Structure 1
Amino acid sequence: MKKLLTFAGASLAATPALAHHPLGGMPMETFAHGLLSGVGHPVLGFDHLFFVALVGIAAVYTGHRRSAPAAYIAAMLLGCLAMSFGFGLPAKEAMIAVSLLALGGIVLSGRALTLTPALLIFAGFGLFHGSAFGDSIAGQEAAMGAPVLLGYLIGLGAVQYAIALGAGWCVERLLGATEAQAMNARLAGAVVAGVGLFLTLETIEGPLLAAAFGI
């Protein structure tokens, strides 16, 4: 438990340091630029980072630790690609908050997902995470070209897949959580669900205040 809490605390403390993008605000112009941006993007926001890490943890208990996270990666890249061409999903930020709350709650419950529900959950929320990532691509110059987009998608997919596999390995091997009911696995779910709850409340705070007080 102490190891997990220390890890979670370090992750939160590291967030400001991770906010330094590899390109330092430079425009993306080449394949290498796109690749570096894709590698750096998932660790810039703890919401994306925590979700993909929990995908890897939940996948361990499906019995498909390598293939199950691929559903998230594929859907995330599809959402990103669609957004880069102007086809974005609505309420992305709200759905990302809900994704943390939902998957965090499942892992917190100690229930192991079977493969089909896991794939549906990972892929469904992956579309929204990818659409949010795609905002960065959509905001770049129209002439950035296919090499930049290709590099971005390769870097984005590769680093998130590595994060998912690494998180699953750490929780199972380093923390000894070999079953979904293990306390360390459930604590990981609690941390992510807590972040999801905070973000969800933050998202609905504005509309609720506006409805109640006309602000």
Structure 2
Amino acid sequence: MFRLALLALVLSASPALAHHPLDGLPMQTFGQGLLSGVGHPILGLDHLFFVAVAGIAAHVARAPLIGVLGYVLSMLAGCMIVASGAAFPLQEAVIALSLLVVGGLLALGRVPTPRVLIALLAGFGLFHGAAFSDGIAGQEGGASLPVLLGYLAGLAVTQAAIACIAGALTARATRMAAQLTGAMAGGVGLYLMLDMAEGVLVRALIGA
């Protein structure tokens, strides 16, 4: 049952990795910001996989709540930092690396101690949050306070729910199912890293 749920998750996720739930329409209200915040973690396959394995790894490390909370708070901080005008270099590369590292540790059955895992999830959370800031960066004149608050609330609630549900499912599944999930997430991370490396190589060859 657990594996069927994972398969459905993969098949329902967008292969484009980044979409806007409002189709790029401007956000003007708290509700529109909330809807956008709810949709971004679900429509982005890289973020969806990471938050799921983050919740599973936190459960395996016996720190289900503090692990998820550490990631979510750090993710919100990263989003606000970039929304305020700062920049995070190598954003997409670190996001791909986060999938490879956390997914790989889970697949190998080598989840670190709670303290180390929380630091790892929080560090990667900054970069995932930085990527989520793109959802409000295109707002003409900047996002209003109600839109920003709605967006952050949607991000926090959705990702916390996904992580906690993934962790709870792990409690009812076999160890192999958790490792399989980690392997799938690690595979996504490896694919993204290879795709980025290919792009860099092609640009170097054509002198772009």
Q: TM-score normalised to the size of structure 2?
A: 0.92
> 5 Å matches for 1:1-215?
3-16=1-14, 22-173=21-172, 175=173, 177=174, 182-211=175-204, 214=207
Shift of 1:171: 1.8
Contact 1:30–1:148, Cα closer than 8 Å, also in 2: yes
Of the structure 1 ranges 10-19 and 157-166, higher mean CA displacement relative to structure 2 is found in 10-19
**Structure 1 residues 188, 92: CA separation in 2 closer, same or farther (over 3 Å shift)?**
same
Shift of 1:161: 0.4
Q: In structure 2, what is the Cα distance between the partners aligned to 1:213 and 1:88? A: 28
The unaligned stretches of length 5 or more in structure 2 are none
Q: In structure 2, what is the Cα distance between the partners aligned to 1:20 and 1:130? A: 15
Letter in 2 for 1:199: L
Contact 1:4–1:187, Cα closer than 8 Å, also in 2: no
Root mean square deviation of aligned Cα: 2.0
The unaligned stretches of length 5 or more in structure 1 are none
Map Cα deviations across residues 162-209 of structure 1 (whole Å, 9 max, x no partner): 100000111222x2x3xxxx2111111110111110001001112223
**Structure 1 residues 143, 98: CA separation in 2 closer, same or farther (over 3 Å shift)?**
closer
Q: TM-score normalised to the size of structure 1?
A: 0.89
Shift of 1:149: 0.4
Q: In structure 1, what is the Cα distance between the partners aligned to 2:90 and 2:6? A: 27
Map Cα deviations across residues 58-89 of structure 1 (whole Å, 9 max, x no partner): 00012111111111101100010111111120
The 4+ residue runs of structure 1 with deviation greater than 4 A are: 17-22, 212-215
Aligned length: 207
Letter in 2 for 1:209: V
Letter in 2 for 1:13: L
* Structure 1 residue matching 2:65: 3-state secondary structure: coil
Shift of 1:143: 4.7
